[in-house]
Amino acid sequence: MRTQVAIIGAGPAGLMLSHLLAREGVESVVVECRSRAYVEARIRAGLLEASTVDLLDEVGLGRRLHAEGFAHRGIYLHWPGERHHIDFVDLVGKMVYIYGQTELTRDFGRARDEDGQLLFYEATGTRLEGIESDSPSVVFTDPAGRETRIEADLIAGCDGSFGPSRESIPSSACQTWEKHYPYSWLGVLANVAPSTDELIYSWSPEGFALHSMRSESVSRLYLQVGPQAKVEEWSDDQIWEVLARRLGDGEGGWHLEAGPITEKSVLPMRSFVMAPMRHHRLFLAGDAAHIVPPTGAKGLNLAIADVALLSEALVAFTKGDTLLADEYSERALRRVWRCTHFSWWMTTMLHTSGDPFEAELQRSQLGWVTSSVAGAAGLAENYAGLPIGY
């Protein structure tokens, strides 16, 4: 089989890329190792920044988001005895949106179905061949056990942090940076109405907590746990007790409503960047090239920003103009490092290490960000999102 662009991975990056390419008449084939049901059910991100939503609107993918998602003016920063609203609209004129990644992935999948997109799910043994030649291939075994080769002009590695694309680039041809944080997040979904209108990011002497949401009847909450924490170690009652304490239950009359927990998972916190995001005919996008701790709500938004740049580059490449393709990695990495820094900044401001000196720095930083327009605007500009081509 032959196509113009072979895309590995049917997460947000891979599906959005195939949508953007199709709009410009460029054909692609998507290869995914999991089932469609698995991909669409994965509970992950929930916050979309303004430029992501603008792009979704532009390409006809924003309808359900505006019908079922939430538009937020900002976030709350909380620490014992203090709660302050950071208003992104007042500060930088932008809203942010709550809309689960599962919903977005479903919307992408429907749009690809309507386009008649060729998508191989449950592919195993995916490997890349000839990426340094002019006719690279993606080879995999389909669910019926047939070995399938897709010959392509270009390959887009959208296969996340454990896929084969990143591994296909020789270590001599790339550089990587990695930081492991000394904590993880325990994330829960609960069938209970959110106890807040907008997200609460909370610092407490015992650890970080975040109150997010998915709908008027489903809350999404996270709490800082040890780096080796296991879900089994945490009972529902313990989770609610710790969340209530860390989020300031009872302070100023505010109350955290508990409810049945329907999903629990532990997410280790790390930063990772790989450069360049291209090796000859292979281009990387999304988690395949970078990982950020979710404190800055950047992971999903960065994936979308990558493929917005990549789609333009690949469309031009197929027409014989390689300039944007040559510039892709440098342009994408500028935004990647900005978001990597912001995610580190939010993470180190809000997660406790037990070090009393660090705790004083964090309280001072929180006090400055919530009392200085310059400080608040800096957070707002990064959180609500920089332009796609930043």
For the chain, what is the largest distance between any 2 Cα atoms, rounded to a whole number of angstroms? 65
Rounded to whole angstroms, how far apart are CA atoms 53 and 385?
10
Identify which of 312, 265, 267 has the alpha carbon closest to the alpha carbon of residue 285.
Answer: 312
Question: Which residues are designated catalytic?
Answer: 72, 201, 294, 298, 383
209 binds, among ligand PHB, ligand FAS, none (CB under 5 to 8 A by kind): none
Query: Considering CB distances under 5 to 8 angstroms, the limit depending on partner class, which of ligand FAS, ligand PHB, none binds residue 9?
Result: ligand FAS
Q: Whose CA is closest to 65, among 49, 76, 53, 77? A: 53
Which of 6, 297, 300, 339 is the binder for ligand PHB (CB under 6 A)?
Answer: 297
Q: Which is nearer to ligand FAS, 26 or 155 (CB)?
A: 155
12 near ligand FAS, judged by CB under 6 A: yes
45 contacts ligand PHB (rule: CB under 6 A)? yes
> Does residue 295 belong to the site contacting ligand PHB (CB under 6 A)?
yes
Q: Is the peptide bond before 276 cis (omega within 30 degrees of 0)?
A: yes
Residue nearest to ligand PHB (CB): 46
Site for ligand PHB in 186-205 (CB under 6 A): 199
- Among ligand PHB, ligand FAS, none, the one that 32 touches (CB under a kind-dependent 5 to 8 A) is ligand FAS
- CB count within 10 Å of CB 272 equals 17
Instruction: Pick the closer one to ligand FAS by CB: 3 or 126.
Output: 126
Residues 178-237 binding ligand FAS (CB under 6 A) are: none
Distances (CA, A) of 244 to 58, 239, 247, 257, 258: 40, 9, 5, 9, 9
Candidates 26, 53, 284, 297: give the one binding ligand FAS (CB under 6 A). Answer: 297
DSSP state of 169: S
Which member of 46, 69, 157, 286 binds ligand PHB (CB under 6 A)?
A: 46
Q: Considering only CA atoms, which of 385, 390, 388 is closest in space to residue 49?
A: 385
